[in-house]
Structure 1
Amino acid sequence: PTKEILEISQQLILNKTPSQLTLSKKNLTADDIEVISKGLKVNQSIKDLSVSNNQIGDAGARSLSDAVKINRTLTELYLSENQIGDVGARSLSDALKVNQNLTKFSLHLNQIGDQGALSLSDALNVNQTLTLLSLSNNQIGENGARSLSNALKVNRTLTELYLSENQISDAGARSLSDALRVNQTLTNLSLHANQIGDSGALSLSDALKVNQSVKELNLINNQIGDNGARSLSDALKVNQSVKQLNLIYNQIGDNGARSLSDALKVNRTLTELYLSENLIGAAGAQSFSDALKVNQTLTELYLSKNQIGDAGAQSLSEALNVNRTLTQLKLSNNQIGENGARALSNALKVNHSIKELTLINNQIGEKTKQNIRTLAQLNKICLVRL
């Protein structure tokens, strides 16, 4: 261990470190962590420790586990990108079974597979303090998702679970859905880039019809098409808890947009809907326009990188003439020309609720852009991006 590491360990022993200690990107090895862990065992002041982006491996995880079993002040531990595998996850899980103060734990970007997820699930069965667990960018697969789902059926403290990029597929989504039917604690679930498809979206939708705790659901880049959007729409018609639904970079077209719009006509909870990078055209924009004329809850609508064109922009402008709740509208990269931009500009003359309008990378002339900027200033829009 370097002189710096030895000094930090000594400071930990003497309780002279700040409550937040960051040791990320320092090329720390398992030997370094062993020295740090000795200090952690007796330290009574540290609350937040970040050791992300090092090379501590399973051996380093084992040393930290021994410290976490004893330490009574640490509440946040970040171990992202450390080459920790299933063995290291098992060691850390053993610590979680006895530790009663850790609330946030990140193992993002490691090499944890289904066996590591099983170990962590065993810990969640008994742990009563952890509120956030990040396992994104590992390899837990559908079996790991099933193990975690079983834990969620009994765990009553975890509120945020991040499982992005884990190859859990539709089978893993189905397991998580079974858990969501009984779990009433989880508020934030991230499943970004997991290939769940329409089938997985259907499973999650069925769960959302009865679950009343999930507030944020991230389904970015999951190969969800119109059928999946229709399933989610059916859920939104009855669900009263989801506030943010992220469906960026899927395969939702005009039919899916129409389904989601039908849900917005009756839903009174959703405030943020992200649909950038889909396949929505002018017809889909018209559907959203019809919904926005009656919806009084949605505050953010992201439709960038679709193909709504002038006709779609004109339709949305009609909605802005009457809608008074939408504050952010993002329409970048949508083939909007002069006619669509002028329609939006006219809408800004009467709409005083929009605080951010984004129209980057369209086909709008400089004169029209200047008119929009002027109206934005008069209308006290905080931000207009052109």
Structure 2
Amino acid sequence: MANSILITLDLSTNMIGPNGALALSEALKTNSTLTSLILTYNSIGVNGVRVLSEVLKANSTLTTLYLSRNSIGDNGAQSLKTNSTLTTLNLHANLVGDNGARALSESLKTNSTLTTLILMNNSIEDDGAQALSEALKANSTLTTLHLFINSIGSNGALALSEALKPNSTLTTLFLGCNWIKASGAQALSEALKTNSTLTTLNLSNNSIGSNGAQALSEALKTNSTLTTLDLHRNMIGDIGAQALSDTLKSNSTLTTLDLHDNSIV
């Protein structure tokens, strides 16, 4: 890639496959201007992500890499090592499970540049969430963690809540469309009582019910940093809504509260 002007290359929804990924990796070895590479929906698979991972070790300019919908699975995630320049890594819908989450968490423990990690619509369960929570205790740069549409339950939420207590960098956490339920919401509410950096928390579609909403309302009485809370589709009902309403009388930081589709009369 002799071009010295192009900074963003979007090849989304093509059919480059692993051979195309190999060709791009050869170009990235010498290119010193490209900062964003978007390869969403290209069937590059495990082999494609492996060659890209190798070139990332030497490349010093790429900051954004989108690999959504490429079927890389756990093996692909395990081969993908974050480098010293990448700030955004998007692995949306890649069949990444707990083993892949563990591998990524190991990289995060020593990585000092990645700020956004998108793992939505994968197959991460409690064990994977536990591994990522361990990384959050050591990592000091990640600001956004996107775990929307996975299979994380209350134990995973508990692990993440323990990580949030000492973490001082994460500002955005998406946990919508998981299975944390009331006990998971209660665990996260305990973290919110001491955490002073999280500004956005999405717990939509998690069946937290009125008990989960009540726990979060208690946390909001003392939390002074959260500005956005998404609780839509959680069956919180009138009791949960009343608890949150009472909290809003004293809370002075929350600016956005999403309660749509919650059986509130």
Counterpart CA distance in 2 for 1:128 and 1:242 is 25
Counterparts of residues 1-386 of structure 1 (less than 5 Å): 97-176=1-80, 179-180=81-82, 183-365=83-265
5+ residue gaps, structure 1, are: 1-96, 366-386
Counterpart CA distance in 1 for 2:23 and 2:52 is 9
Shift of 1:363: 1.3
Counterpart CA distance in 1 for 2:169 and 2:84 is 17
Aligned-partner residue type, residue 162 of structure 2 = D
Counterpart CA distance in 1 for 2:243 and 2:251 is 12
Aligned-partner residue type, residue 315 of structure 1 = A
Aligned-partner residue type, residue 30 of structure 2 = V
Give the equivalent residue in structure 2 for 1:87. none
Aligned-partner residue type, residue 318 of structure 1 = E
Shift of 1:262: 0.2
Q: Please give the per-residue CA displacement for 1:87-114, whole angstroms capped at 9, x wherever unaligned.
A: xxxxxxxxxx211111001000001100
Q: Please give the per-residue CA displacement for 1:128-157, whole angstroms capped at 9, x wherever unaligned.
A: 000000000110000000000001000000
Counterpart CA distance in 1 for 2:152 and 2:8 is 34
Counterpart CA distance in 2 for 1:157 and 1:317 is 44
Q: TM-score, normalised by structure 2?
A: 0.99
Counterpart CA distance in 1 for 2:238 and 2:2 is 64
Aligned-partner residue type, residue 70 of structure 2 = N
Counterpart CA distance in 2 for 1:340 and 1:196 is 34
Shift of 1:123: 0.6
3-state secondary structure, aligned to 1:189: strand
Counterpart CA distance in 2 for 1:175 and 1:189 is 14
Q: Please give the per-residue CA displacement for 1:313-340, whole angstroms capped at 9, x wherever unaligned.
A: 0000000000000000000000111111
Q: TM-score, normalised by structure 1?
A: 0.68
Identity value in percent: 54
Shift of 1:252: 0.3
Pair member with larger Rg = 1
Counterpart CA distance in 2 for 1:169 and 1:112 is 18
Counterpart CA distance in 1 for 2:72 and 2:257 is 36
3-state secondary structure, aligned to 1:305: coil
| Backbone CA RMSD of aligned residues | 0.5
Give the equivalent residue in structure 2 for 1:370. none
